[in-house]
Every structure is written in C-alpha cells, then in structure tokens.
Amino acid sequence: MTVRVRLAPSPTGNLHIGTARTAVFNWLFARHHQGQFILRIEDTDEARSKPEYTQNILDGLSWLGLNWDEGPIFQSKRIDQYHQAIQKLLDQDLAYRCYTTPEELDALRESQKARKEAPRYDNRHRNLSQEQEAAFIAEGRQPVIRVKIDDDGQINWTDLVRGPMAWKGSDLGGDMVIARAKASGEIGQPLYNLAVVVDDLDMQISHVIRGEDHIANTAKQILLYEALGDTIPTFAHTPLILNPEGRKLSKRDGVTSISDFQEMGFTAEALANYMTLLGWSPTDATQELFLLDNAAEQFSFERVNKAGAKFDWDKLDWINSQYLHPMPATELVERLIPYWQAAGFSFDPVAERPWLEQLTALIGPSLTRLKDCVDMSQFLFDDAVEFSEDAITHLQQDGVAAALASLKQVLSSLETFSAEAAQTSIKQVVKEQGVKKGLVMKSLRASLTGSLKGPDLMESWLLLHQRGVDLKRIEQAIAQA
RNA sequence: AGUGGUGUACGCAAAUGGUUCAAGCGGCUUGGUUUUCACCCAAGUGAUUGCGGGUUCAAUCCCCGUCGCCACUCCCA
C-alpha cells in the first residue's frame, strides 16, 4: 500500500508551531515510506479564513523544507462533493434536518451543566413528523443537518501512537452537525468533520497524522467513513506542544507562528530539528542534531512519545546556535544582511561585502539567533558612539584621558594602519604613560565601542578603521573623559 | 460533570522485566579560555521513575487502585 498522508491546516491564522510540528511528522512519515505528502487547505469557515493566512502557511512550510507532493487543495472549491455526500447521507436516512435553534441548544447545555451532566445534543429532532417539520419551517427556522450517532454503537481503532482505542457512541455528544443552517431543502455550508472524511476518502489518504486534540473527532469521523466509503485510514495522534504552564500552546502564548520564529532569527533547520525532537527521538537518542532527511530515514511512530512536551526556548536557542556556529562566513553573511537592513543600518551589501564577511567571521561564532547580529554589531555601523554608563565611568578615571591622548598622537603619526601597527601603538602608549596594558585596552574599547564588553577588540578596531571612524571615536572619547 | 489520554530530575528525554552509575542534551553552578562580553572547553549539580498495593527470584517497564495534569465534549478546525 502506498502511503498517502496530508496536512490539513485551516487558514484562520498564521502557520502555528503545532501545525508545523504535525506537518513535520507527516512529512517524515511520507518520506520514510516513499509516499506522498498532500497539502489541503481547510477553508470551509468562510468568515474566519483569509488568503493571507494561506500564503503564510505555504511560505512557512516551504521555508521549513516541508515540500508537498500534491496541492494545495482548497476545500472551498470542493463544496459540490460535500453536498453530494450530505445528500447521500440524507437519502440513506443516516442524516436528517434539525431545527433546534442555537438559543435552544444553549439552554439545553445550560440545564445539563446545572445538573452536572455532560453537555450533549438530545437528538430531539431525529424523528420529526412531516407536520412538525412544516411547522418549524413556517416559523422561519433554518435547519442544520445532523448525522445520526447510535448511542449503543462502539467505535474502535488502533492508533499508531496510542495503541487500541475504544469509544462509545453515547460519549460523542449526540447526533453531529455536518452542515450549517440553511433553508430547508437546501444544504448549508459543510462542516469540518464531514469535509475531512470526504476529502480523505477522495484523496485516498492512508494515514491520518494529527494532534491528539483530534481524538474525539476521529471517533465521529470513523462513523462517516463507514457511511461514505469502504476504507478507513490508519490514525496516529501525536502529543501536543505545551506552554510553560503545561497547556496546549496557543496564540495567546506569544510567539507561536513560524514566521515569527523566522523573523527572530531561527534557522529553518534548527527549528525543524527542535520540533522533531519534541515528541520523537532518534534510535540513537544521544544524537540530537539532525536534518529532516536524516530523521526521515529512521522515522517511526514507535519512537513518538505519548505525553505532551513543553516548549523550551533555551533548548531551541542552543540548537539554533549549533547550526549557526559552524556556518562559513560567506554563507552566514547572506543570512545576516537582511537583519542589518531591517535594523536600518546603512551599508552597501555589494561594495562592502568583504567588510561584512569580516564582520560575520567576527560575530558568527557568538550568535544564538541571527537577529543577535543587530545588537552585536550596531556600534560598527553607527557613525558616532553612544557611551554606556559603564564606559563613561571608566573614561573618567584617572589617567584615561592622558592615555587616549597619547594613543591619538601615536596613531596620527602612523603611515599605514594594520593589526601589527595597532598592537605596537598600544605598547608604545603603555610605555610612555607608564600604565597597565589593561587600562589602555579597556579605554580603547570604551572609546571605540562605547561599551565595556563586546567582540574581540582588535578585530573590531580593524573593522572600524576600514570605515574610517576609529580616530573620530577616540577624539569623542577624549571629550567625554 | 462525562469521556479519552498522560505522569522518569527545572525542561526535552533514553532504557521497557535482569548487571556496576536509571543514558544523553538543555538549564543552573563553578573553573578554564578571552586582559571584556559572548562563543567554546571542562567539571559539578540534580530522579526513592506521581503515590499505594499486587504479580515475579527480579518491576521505570506487567496488573489493580489512587492522585495530579492535559485534551475533548461548538452551526470552529
């Protein structure tokens, strides 16, 4: 049997990390079995679906390297198929029109809640007489369409992650709605559970891999598979990604969409690596750094965890740094340039390329997130230094002004500037002023960078010199001191 | 309230009846390196495997109970 899996996001928001992780598992499974990974956009909720979200989802998946083999297929373009399926259910008397109003349903749930009962639809319109139906229609009520769920029914399946699963029909909340309200005789907007089953059947999906929050839906959907088709896919319900409080990670938890992670400076490789690790482990669990292709080779649901996993920024950061640090400057610089540009730094990415690469080589091994390059290198792009409080305190110490003045003197007599010349200049000042080298270095750092900490001083100096701002800064510092 | 699921250190997790330390990574602490910071390197830290019982020569692992936590119970997906 060929493996055919699908990712079925609804475009009601940007690509969420939970959806992306589901995508990762689907992709890994498909690739492992040389199957197909299909992308389907579930936009049946017209009110909440937006094209820009669809675009964001497509972009995010592409960025992560989760290429799909078919699609995107839009449910909004398949309404006819859903209507046909609904009509079939109606014709077979497996579904019926329910005229209960939302208000009545609310009241029902309220009273059930008050009696400490589980909320459920009481199937009150399952066997309406023609007269009753006519009366409701005369009242102007618009019916939804519900599929009958046998309370005594038993639904079983074997979940690839959780093993044997069993549900009672009576625990499914009563007959389920498959189409929104619309004038009797017509068929309203099809709902999720129905559309999913029709599509998965049409697309010959072999395995449904999704988050465990869908487990109850699976029981309902199996009923529809039985009514509408003759095959039922295999299911795998993956654990959820949790926030620090242990709840399902949602938009309320702040940064949760893939484009946000991208913007913050995580690499696609690192993020995909981390998402895979959240709930799955390679056969050699000590080997935590891997590319999607490597994971696909050995992916299996036997090694997918059952419990939800809390999202951990520290670990993601660490993984990201592991991808960034060994990256050659010639490659890294390409990734850094957009961040520098976004920060508003002025530079010519072509003409100044060597300088930018040199800078990248300097800060690259210290980066955690790509965006860190902004704060780390700001002082190199700025025209003038802004002195930190610490730096000013240092500059005002005894002997600093004199040392800097001496340094300025030495430098201005220099014919050509180089790393060696810089070193000898410092030594000369130390000798002339009779101060410790540490003092000169610290003063120089404060002068050139405006701060007491930062990347390697001599390298920074060389970069600054190429921009022709080093002497100016030393003068600026002398004024402060 | 019901139904389903789940519980190994601060977080992710490995080992699933059988050695000596219940792996590893992150975190945190300390040291080294850098005359700074970060990175990096090293060491250290921390778990009566939720709890109680049972089966067994032997239980993280199997069984029962219990507690906690999570998800679901929309004319959302």
Dump pLDDT digits (tens) for A229-282.
Answer: 889 999 999 999 999 999 999 888 888 899 999 999 999 999 999 999 999 999
- A436 CB contact with strand B at below 7 Å: yes
CA of A449: nearest nucleotide by C1' is B36
Query: By the 8 A CB rule, do A7 and A41 touch?
Result: no
Q: Any atom of strand B under 7 A from CB of A306?
A: yes
Per the structure, the residue whose CA is closest to nucleotide B37 at C1' is A453
Q: Is strand B less than 7 A from the beta carbon of A167?
A: yes
Q: Is the pLDDT of residue A402 over 90?
A: no
Q: Is the pLDDT of residue A224 over 90?
A: yes
When pLDDT is cut at 50, 70 and 90, the band that residue A395 belongs to is confident
Q: Is residue A178 scored above 90 in pLDDT? A: yes
* Calpha distance A472→A382 (Å, rounded): 12
Whole-number Å distance, CA A120 to C1' B4?
16
Provide, in whole angstroms, the distance separating residue A26's CA from nucleotide B16's C1': 26
| pLDDT greater than 80 at residue A85 | yes
Say how far A461 CA is from B76 C1', in Å.
58
Helix, strand, coil distribution of chain A in percent, nearest 5:
50, 10, 35
Surface-to-core class of residue A283, CB atoms within 10 Å of its CB (0-12 exposed, 13-18 middle, 19+ buried): exposed
Nucleotide with smallest C1' distance to residue A244 CA:
B11
| Band (A428; pLDDT cuts 50, 70, 90) | confident
User: What's the pLDDT score for residue A80?
Assistant: 95
- Domain A329-373 belongs to what topology? Helicase, Ruva Protein; domain 3 (1.10.8)
In chain A, ranges of CATH 3.90.800.10 domains: 80-192
Strand B at less than 7 A from CB of A22: no
Residue at the smallest CA–C1' distance to nucleotide B36? A453
Among residues A251, A306, A427, A437, the one annotated as catalytic is A251
| Residue whose Cα is closest to the C1' of B3 | A171
Closest CA to the C1' of B1: that residue is: A116
What angle, 0 to 180 degrees and rounded to 10, lies between the N-to-C axes of helices A457-466 and A437-449? Answer: 40
User: Residue type at A274?
Assistant: Y
- Average pLDDT of chain A is 93
Q: Taking the domain A80-192, which CATH number applies?
A: 3.90.800.10
What is the band of A114 on the pLDDT scale with cuts at 50, 70, 90?
A: confident
Q: Please report how many Cα atoms fall inside a 13 Å half-sphere around the Cα of residue A187, on the Cβ side.
A: 21
The two tokens of residue A330 are: 């010639």
Please tell me which residue, A243 or A417, carries the higher pLDDT value: A243
Q: Beta strand pairing status for A4-7 and A241-242? A: unpaired
User: Which distant-in-sequence residues (6+ apart) come within 8 Å of A21 by Cβ?
Assistant: A238, A241, A275, A276, A278, A279
Residue of A290, A287, A466, A289 whose CA lies nearest to A381: A466
Q: Is the CB of A251 under 7 A from strand B?
A: no
Let me know if A251 is a catalytic residue: yes
Burial of A23-57, coded b for 16+ CB within 10 Å and e otherwise, reads: bbbbbbbbbebebbbbbbbbbbbeeebeeebbebb
Task: Give the mean model confidence (pLDDT) for residues A399-426.
Answer: 86
Residue with the larger pLDDT of the pair A468 and A82: A82
Phi, psi (5° rounding) for residue A273? Answer: -60, -50
Distance of A320 CA from B15 C1′ (whole Å): 28
Question: pLDDT at position A113, please?
Answer: 86
A389-480, which class in CATH?
A: mainly alpha
pTM of the complete model? 0.93
Query: Does the CB of A116 fall within 7 Å of any strand B atom?
Result: yes
State yes or no: pLDDT of A481 exceeds 80.
no
In the structure, how far is the CA atom of residue A157 from the C1' atom of nucleotide B74, in angstroms? 25
Confidence of residue A117 (pLDDT cuts 50, 70, 90): confident
Task: Give residue A479's pLDDT.
Answer: 84
Find out whether A373 and A367 touch, Cβ atoms under 8 Å: yes
Lowest mean per-residue pLDDT among A207-211, A301-305, A419-423, A444-448:
A419-423
Residue A241's pLDDT is: 96
- Protein-covered nucleotides of chain B (CB closer than 7 Å) are 1-8, 11-15, 23-28, 34-40, 69-77
Residues of chain A with CATH 1.10.8.70: 329-373
A280, β-bridge pairs: A304
**In the prediction, which pLDDT does A480 show?**
77
- ipTM of the prediction: 0.94
The segment(s) of chain A belonging to CATH 1.10.10.350 are 389-480
Tell if A375 CB is < 7 Å from nucleic strand B.
no
Mean pLDDT, rounded, for A328-356: 95
Please tell me the predicted confidence (pLDDT) of residue A273: 98
Residue A398 is predicted with a pLDDT of 84
Q: Is the CB of A10 under 7 A from strand B?
A: yes
Flag residues 199-228 of A with CB < 7 Å from strand B. Answer: 212-217
Residue nearest to nucleotide B72 (CA to C1'): A216
Q: Between the CA of A317 and the C1' of B25, what is the distance in angstroms?
A: 13
Asked if omega into A72 is within 30° of 0 (cis), the reply is: yes
Residues 126-145 of A with CB under 7 A from strand B: 142, 144
Is A79 within 7 A of strand B by CB distance? no
Q: Phi, psi (5° rounding) for residue A147? A: -100, 135
β-strand partners of A37: A5
Instruction: Measure, in angstroms, how far nucleotide B54 C1' is from residue A221 CA.
Output: 39
- Our measurement of CA A67 to C1' B9, in angstroms, reads 38
pLDDT at A424 over 80: yes
A307 touches strand B (CB under 7 A): yes
Q: Copy the structure tokens of residue A243.
A: 């926030």
The number of beta carbons lying within 10 Å of the beta carbon of residue A423 is: 11
**pLDDT for position A399:** 84
Does position A420 have pLDDT exceeding 90, yes or no? no
CATH 3.40.50.620 fits A1-70+239-324, yes or no: yes
Could you tell me the distance in Å between the CA of residue A6 and the C1' of nucleotide B4? 24
